[in-house]
Chains A and B, each alone.
Chain A
């Protein structure tokens, strides 16, 4: 079992719709969770981080964390073609002595 799992996609949504990206992790002691966006040929850039159960909103983006289910998601409201990219979920363990572990990413396509 991979430590951080994501559906590779592509996830295709029409412009203006809500895109829902999901991620599960195996280390129950994980404390911090990150979503990175990576455009083709570019390096990852941070969108959001979350470390408390519940929702965290930032503009059109909402991160949701459920530690009991070991599940973290990213919702993108009013999706735009410019949101088309690969979204990487990353997890940091409780002791902080391990580097961030990344999932393989979900490719999102927003159709105009």
Chain B
């Protein structure tokens, strides 16, 4: 697609429920990233995928969080047994590659989706 697409745009859930957030990256982008942004805060890295390499899960805050990506396409971020502190905007971004230094064309810069706003009551 033309941009990074995320769904749902808004999700309100009850504490203890599981939620799934979806990200559809820009076609041809091999790298995909999930970040979390709490209200008034900066971006907190969660996980990233690069092609068929093992994902970097070092940012996931607990084992309630997991993410999958099939090949170079759609990714799903799952949060199990949601807690109120999980309330945030979950941002997905994609780029051509994370391994190459950004060239003059900026081909490897991240493009963000509009985000999924999660509210846990």
CB <8 Å contact, B42 and A99: no
Tally of contacts, chain A with chain B, CB under 8 A: 56
A42 to B89, CA, bound (A): 10
Specify which of B33, B42, B109 is in contact with A49 (CB 8 Å cutoff): B109
Q: B42 to A105, Cβ gap below 8 A?
A: yes
A69 at the B interface (CB under 8 A)? no
Our pick among A32, A42, A103 for the contact of B102 (Cβ within 8 Å) is A32
B102 touches A88 (CB 8 A): no
A96 touching B101 in the complex, CB below 8 Å, given contacts A43-B113, A104-B42:
yes
Dominant secondary structure at the B interface: loop
A46 interface hit (Cβ, 8 Å):
yes
The verdict on A97 contacting chain B, using a C-beta distance below 8 Å, is yes
Interface size class of A (residues with CB under 8 A): 20 to 34
Provide the A63-96 mask, 1 if CB < 8 A to any CB of B, else 0: 0000000000000000000000000101010001
Known contacts A43-B115, A44-B43, A105-B42: A99-B109 contact under CB 8 Å: no
Q: How many residues of B contact A (CB 8 A)?
A: 23
Residues 18-56 of B, flagged 1 when their CB comes within 8 A of A and 0 if not, give: 000000000000000101000001110100100000001
A34 close to chain B: CB less than 8 A: yes
Say yes or no: is B114 at the interface (Cβ < 8 Å to chain A): yes
A62 within 8 A of B: no
Please, how many angstroms separate the alpha-carbon atoms of A109 and B107 in the complex? Answer: 30
In whole angstroms, how far apart are the Cα atoms of A51 and B106 in the complex? 11
Tell me the nearest residue of chain A to B31, going by C-beta: A99
Give chain A residues whose Cβ lies under 8 Å from the Cβ of B115: 43
| Additional A-B contact list (18), CB under 8 Å, known A43-B115, A96-B100, A104-B42 | A31-B101, A34-B109, A43-B113, A43-B114, A44-B43, A46-B106, A49-B102, A51-B102, A92-B102, A96-B98, A97-B99, A99-B56, A99-B59, A99-B98, A100-B33, A102-B35, A102-B42, A102-B45
- Footprint of A on B, CB under 8 Å? 33, 35, 41-43, 45, 48, 56, 59, 91, 98-102, 106, 109-115
